[in-house]
Structure 1
Amino acid sequence: MNVSWEKTETNRGVLTVEVDEKQLGGALDRAFKKVSKNVNVPGFRKGKIPRPIFEKRFGVESLYQDALDILLPEVYPEAVEKADIDPVDQPEIDIDQLEKGKPFIFKAKVMVKPEVKLGEYKGLEIEEKDFLVTQEDIDAELKQMQERQGQLVAVEEGTIEEGDRAILDFEGFVDGEAFEGGKGEQYTLEIGSGQFIPGFEEQLVGLAPGEEKDVTVTFPEEYHAEDLKGKEAVFKVKIHEIKRTELPELDDEFAQDVGEFETFEELKSDVENKLKEQKKNEEESYKRNQLVEKAAENAEVEIPEVMIDREIDQMVSHFEQQLSMQGVNLEQYIQFTGQTKEDIRAQFKEDAGKKTRNDLVLEAISEAENVEVTEEDIEEELKKLAEQMSRELDEIKRLVDMQGGRAQIEGDLKIRKTVDLLVSNSKNAA
């Protein structure tokens, strides 16, 4: 196989591949075996037509597409490796020559991983930030613990307040007509959560169980349903029940309930120590992120849009997983918030671009500094993984190998070592 690579733009080029006639012939043979199984020709059993008669009747050209389907997936990856390029998208294939008995020649227009021109990445300075634990931090953590221990109780007398959960029926109408997806029964809605269209939840405050009300709202102009964009809607609402969180007292009994503490003072001390450890980790993460950001800002790189789109895909997928853990799917979230899928993707675009840029720059620094990951490094990481998962080391190794995860671990370790290098060479290094 002969391969040549010609760069035509910053991140694009043309890969020209010449495959010898013998390899093309082999692909045509395999294509014939596949096609002839379904060919009916008088005088021959199905699938038993001789090759010369097939070609005379149908022409060898009838095998070309199947031969391409066989050949291209085999030769393209090999050509990419031989040209030492790193494609980031599917190629555009143009056939230059495809004829029995002659070399097969094709050109592939390829988008490749961009080259990074590194700027300063050593001796960088981190902007100072306060990571001290304050009394407000301690009080806020205790408040969260108190809320987690709270119990939802039905409000026998009273009306809906911010933070309550209202159990309600609702049905929406536009111009007097009910619309699809605008009805719910015995629906639990946390007031102030922002689940519904802006203005809906606020109008429920002050209602008591058994009360009914017409709630008037206007759908956002960017709402996902075309027939509802910017329309005024009236929701007929009936309140069935109100539930409110009843909080326990912050005292010695509370401390004994949430952990192995005799007194509330012991609990407060434990909270403070854990917050200090958390702040220490946050400070370390802040320093590392700052250095990566600065190194990326100092570099020059032109990022193909397809790489950013791919990162957005991953972020949206992760967002969907987070929603599912809360019992909500993406379609429901879109309906509740009035956003479109395009709106959600747009929200991730800036972060996706930044992450893609950072990853490319860290990879370039890793290559420039010859950062290496040893077998001992991987072994140590697998031991940590086994401890975290409370599994045997050999079992973790088998799982990692089965899932092809060793390369991922190696890649993650290389990036971590590269960031360590930035930290140790920063002006703030101790």
Structure 2
Amino acid sequence: MNLTTKRINAANALVNGSILLKDLEEKLNKIATKISKTIKIDGFRKGKVPLNVIKSRYKEHIEQDAQKEATEEMLQLALKDLNIDSKEVIGDPIITKFDKKDNSIDIEIKISLKPSFNLDTLNSCVPEVKLKSITEKQIDERLQEIAQSKTPLIEAKKDKKLTKNDIANINFEGFVDEKPFEGGKAESFDLTIGSGQFIPGFEDGLIGMKIGEEREISVTFPESYHTQNLAGKPAVFKVKLNKIQLKDTPKIDDELVKSLLPQEKNASLGLLKEKIKEQLELETKTKLYNEELKEELIKNLDNTFEFELPDLIVEQEMDLLFRNSLNTLDPKEFEELKLDANKARQKRESFRPEAKKSVKITFIIDALSKQEKISVQDNEVLQTIYYESMMNGQNPKETIEYYKKNNLLPAIKMAMIEDKILAYLLDEKLNKSKEKSSQKHEESKEKESKKPKEPIQTKTVKKSKTKAE
């Protein structure tokens, strides 16, 4: 077997070799002999089927097995020649050339390798975490909201007109081009006016209605609406107002406090406010992380770390991004790509920068997960999918089955690990900042206490002169 190997860079290698047909013939005979011992063919005793019969009947299968075995041997020799441990290989090596000649088969194999890098500069990538202090006003507003949610509703009198913050119980049916559409009908639906639950214009159109009144409301679906056949379309909703419910004035008393803190023996309003403050702090931190800092951290990681990426993995990511993009194309552009291979290649190539960034971040996150021993269990992934499916009104079991069937669970698991690690890094930065701030405060107090005290100065009182003086 002729063999040449080349280390293209730290993450890619190339193997070229030739398999002699005489060597392949030995493998063909070996495989055919193995088959003959177990196969049963009419007219022959078990284990006594001639090799030429086996090789003729199972020719394609035997040739594939022999070629696969020879290629695997070539790959193992190449790894040895390159001084590469098989554990460093990522994914399946790709055969880029397989030319059959008179006396040999010329083969070229591309190998992707796990990139090598260190995390010494990691801390410089993590942005500062500055959380706004929770005010007493925010705590009181949240307390009012909680109390309001626990307060029973009051049914309004028949002459009441619907206003903002009222809860309207309605029947409705929507029409586009004078035809009803799927998901546009409901009965006895409770809608808080001003909640923004429906598309713009719908809730405003209800204001002023009386109980029992029917009304037609004209609206237009937003261009970005999630259902494509409705996006940007004008629609008419026929609505009937069944009843109006009002929220009573909330009471913040001992009974409410105890209902909200059932596990606390010494439940008090002060303790409830502390719990609310903790919840608000968590919400503020989560919002800051998700809307700003995680993206900034990923950008910093991408800009700071430079290492070679395995080409095959980048190409696979490009394929994935390209396929996903096809679902968002309008029909005209989709047909153009189908008919023009060059345009399709250009479209796929446009995803290379995004694919390289994605692959790089994945390797960094993987290295961090091993270093910090952070992981996500399979049951956590399933629980997350189950919960999100329920929140979106989907069937959780069907959703999980879809993810399993399309092999999407590993990608979801990796996304959850990434989210967990980014939050961990930001939390570490936040905790260090708090410690530093606390230390400075203590040092300041200590410094103040050691200052020499100035002597108390008393005012000299001049005696007033008497007449006698």
- Scaled to the shorter chain, the TM-score interval is 0.5 to 0.7
Q: 2:201 aligns with which of 199, 202, 214?
A: 199
- Give the aligned partner of residue 53 of structure 2: 53
State the Cα distance separating 1:211 from its structure 2 match: 1.8
Deviations 1:394-429 (A, max 9, x none): xxxxxxxxxxxxxx9xx99x969x949985998987
Deviations 1:96-118 (A, max 9, x none): 2689xx99875455666666687
Deviations 1:190-235 (A, max 9, x none): 4444443332233223323322111212233344555444322212
- Give the aligned partner of residue 461 of structure 2: none
Q: 1:84 aligns with which of 88, 96, 102?
A: 88
State the Cα distance separating 1:272 from its structure 2 match: 2.7
Shift of the 191–267 alpha-carbon distance from structure 1 to 2, 3 Å rule, reads: same
- Give the aligned partner of residue 137 of structure 1: 138
- Give the aligned partner of residue 304 of structure 2: 298
Q: Is the 8 A contact 1:24 1:103 kept in 2?
A: no
CA distance in 1, matches of 2:433, 2:223: 50
Question: Residue type of the partner of 2:181?
Answer: F
State the Cα distance separating 1:162 from its structure 2 match: 3.8
Q: Is the 8 A contact 1:116 1:364 kept in 2?
A: no
State the Cα distance separating 1:21 from its structure 2 match: 5.1
Identity of aligned residues (%): 28
Question: Residue type of the partner of 1:146?
Answer: A
Q: Helix, strand or coil for the counterpart of 1:230?
A: coil
CA distance in 2, matches of 1:225, 1:421: 38
State the Cα distance separating 1:149 from its structure 2 match: 1.7
Q: Is the 8 A contact 1:31 1:70 kept in 2?
A: no
TM-score, normalised by the number of residues in structure 2: 0.51
- Give the aligned partner of residue 267 of structure 1: 269
TM-score, normalised by the number of residues in structure 1: 0.54
Flag structure 2 segments of 5+ consecutive residues without an equivalent.
330-350, 381-413, 437-469
Query: If you compute each CA radius of gyration, which structure gives the higher value, 1 or 2?
Result: 2
State the Cα distance separating 1:360 from its structure 2 match: 3.8
State the Cα distance separating 1:254 from its structure 2 match: 2.7
Q: What is the aligned length?
A: 354
Shift of the 419–125 alpha-carbon distance from structure 1 to 2, 3 Å rule, reads: closer
CA distance in 1, matches of 2:48, 2:246: 78
Question: Residue type of the partner of 1:272?
Answer: E
Q: Is the 8 A contact 1:308 1:356 kept in 2?
A: no
CA distance in 1, matches of 2:190, 2:134: 37
- Give the aligned partner of residue 149 of structure 1: 150
Q: 1:208 aligns with which of 207, 210, 213?
A: 210
Question: Residue type of the partner of 1:238?
Answer: K
State the Cα distance separating 1:278 from its structure 2 match: 7.1
- Give the aligned partner of residue 173 of structure 1: 175
Shift of the 126–5 alpha-carbon distance from structure 1 to 2, 3 Å rule, reads: same
Deviations 1:230-263 (A, max 9, x none): 3222122222233444453123443244336899
Q: Which has the higher contact order (CA 8 A, sep 6+)?
A: 1
Shift of the 67–138 alpha-carbon distance from structure 1 to 2, 3 Å rule, reads: farther
CA distance in 1, matches of 2:111, 2:178: 56
Q: Does residue 1:231 correspond to 2:233, yes or no?
A: yes
Q: 2:252 aligns with which of 244, 250, 272?
A: 250
Shift of the 429–237 alpha-carbon distance from structure 1 to 2, 3 Å rule, reads: same
CA distance in 1, matches of 2:243, 2:59: 76
Question: Residue type of the partner of 2:137?
Answer: E
Question: Residue type of the partner of 1:86?
Answer: I
Q: Is the 8 A contact 1:138 1:268 kept in 2?
A: no
What is the aligned-residue RMSD (CA, Å)? 6.3
Q: Which moved more, 1:192-201 or 1:114-123?
A: 114-123
State the Cα distance separating 1:135 from its structure 2 match: 0.7
Q: Is the 8 A contact 2:129 2:426 kept in 1?
A: no
